[in-house]
Amino acid sequence: MGYRVAVVGATGAVGREMLKTLHERRFPVDEVAALASGRSAGQDVSFGDKAVLRVKNLETFDFAGWDIALFSPVAAVSAIHAPRAAGSGCLVIDNTSQFRMDPDVPLVVPEVNPQALGRIRRGIVANPNCSTIQMVVALKPLHDRFQVKRVVVATYQSVSGAGKEGMDELFIQSKGSFVGDAPKVEQFTKQIAFNVIPHIDRFLDDGSTKEEWKMVVETKKILDPDIAVIATCVRVPVFIGHAEALVVEFERPVTVAEARMALRAAPGVQVVDTHEDGGYVTPLDAQGEDATFVSRLRRDPTVANGLAFWCVSDNLRKGAALNAVQIAETLVAQGVLARRAA
């Protein structure tokens, strides 16, 4: 038996990756609906190598009889249509920031806290922010063994984190710079080509940004409320793949060898760390891959129990589409979706 799956935001960077991921992982589908705004209704999107789906307007779509909806529009659209879909009996997995901190909505990374799926009260499950997902996948095996106390993280986030228009802006600015075009700045706050911008999402009263705040509060909700996090989130001129430099302090003593062993055994983590030229993973290497990669693992000699490392993942896959599909797979394995579809 397969499921009827709706993909909301199907024309976007994440939505297209969702369709690709559902097909690649052979998620058991009977029917797939591609939904977006009225602007792109009637366009075609690919589902696998052969199938083409005609995009339908979310506004007028009836979710009755649909089992799962993978949402990745903007937060304000999820605010209206995710509860509408859930109200029709369709289980929603939402990629936007709209419901992440709602106490009645589980915020889930299947390798880290699948148990949170036991309490789906509003018919909605939230997918965390892309930079949080890869960080908690890497922290989880270390937290289980050595108990993470404090994390200092700096991110190097690709432009695809800002959607398809962010990718277009980097492309157009880069190309334009070779023919002397003045850079047009629309999606980012300064020119992104040949630059780095220490500002993602809006500023908060304390001088941090909302992207930084998300990493703090989402880590607490997913992994452990006692973990202290300070983040600096930076946009870099890379198309796909987020990198993070982490400095982590633990309650218990830890050696590099023990940490390496814990990371190697962890689901979703791949350690690539040889101390030679190129013996580490970059965003280009991680593009199209499912894993969260850990490199440059070393002791932090400035504290008693500390480590520093480099962490990279494809933000459109593990940071968004893959994580959402893995949540759906986990729900199927737990029997939650089977009961709903029966």
**Residue 245 in 3-state DSSP?**
strand
Residue from the set 24, 46, 48, 75 that interacts with ligand NAP by CB under 6 A:
75
Residues in contact with ligand NAP, counted by CB under 6 A, come to a total of 29
User: Using N-to-C axis directions, what is the helix angle for 13-24 and 322-333, rounded to 10°?
Assistant: 40
Instruction: Indicate the SS3 state at residue 189.
Output: coil
320 binds ligand NAP (CB under 6 A): yes
Q: Which residues pair with 152 in a beta bridge?
A: 230, 247
Q: Does 141 bind ligand NAP (CB under 6 A)?
A: no
Q: Does 306 interact with ligand NAP (rule: CB under 6 A)?
A: no
132 binds ligand NAP (CB under 6 A): no
User: Is residue 9 at the binding interface for ligand NAP, with CB under 6 A as the rule?
Assistant: yes
Phi (first) and psi of residue 30, to 5 degrees: -95, -35
315 touching ligand NAP, by CB under 6 A: yes
Please report whether residue 283 would count as binding ligand NAP according to CB under 6 A: no
39 vs 184, which CB is nearer to ligand NAP?
A: 39
Phi-psi region of 238 (alpha: psi -120 to 50; beta: other; left: phi over 0): beta
The residue type at 254: V
Tell me which of 13, 138, 142, 312 binds ligand NAP, using CB under 6 A: 13
Of the candidates 130, 143, 233, 311, the residue annotated as catalytic is: 130
108 forms part of the interface with ligand NAP (CB under 6 A): no
For residue 239, the minimal CB distance to ligand NAP (Å) is 11
Residue 230 in 3-state DSSP? strand
Which one of 22, 116, 130, 136 is in contact with ligand NAP (CB under 6 A)?
A: 130
Active-site residue flag, 130? yes
- Report the distance separating Cα 82 and Cα 95, nearest Å: 11
Interface mask (CB under 6 A) for ligand NAP, residues 15-34, using x and -?
x-------------------
Q: Quick check: 325 binds ligand NAP (CB under 6 A)?
A: no
Euclidean distance between CA atoms 136 and 35, whole angstroms: 30
**Is 23 one of the catalytic residues?**
no
Of the residues 6, 11, 188, 311, which one makes contact with ligand NAP according to CB under 6 A = 11
> What is the chain's length?
342
Residue 326 makes CB contacts below 8 A (sequence gap 6+) with 110
DSSP 71-119: E-S-HHHHHHHHHHHHHTTPEEEE-SSSSTT-TTS-B--TTT-GGGGG-
Is 12 among the residues that bind ligand NAP (CB under 6 A)? yes
What is the set of active-site residues?
Answer: 130, 242
Which residues sit at the interface with ligand NAP, rule CB under 6 A?
9-15, 36-37, 39-40, 58, 72-75, 77, 95-96, 130, 160-161, 163-165, 315-316, 319-320
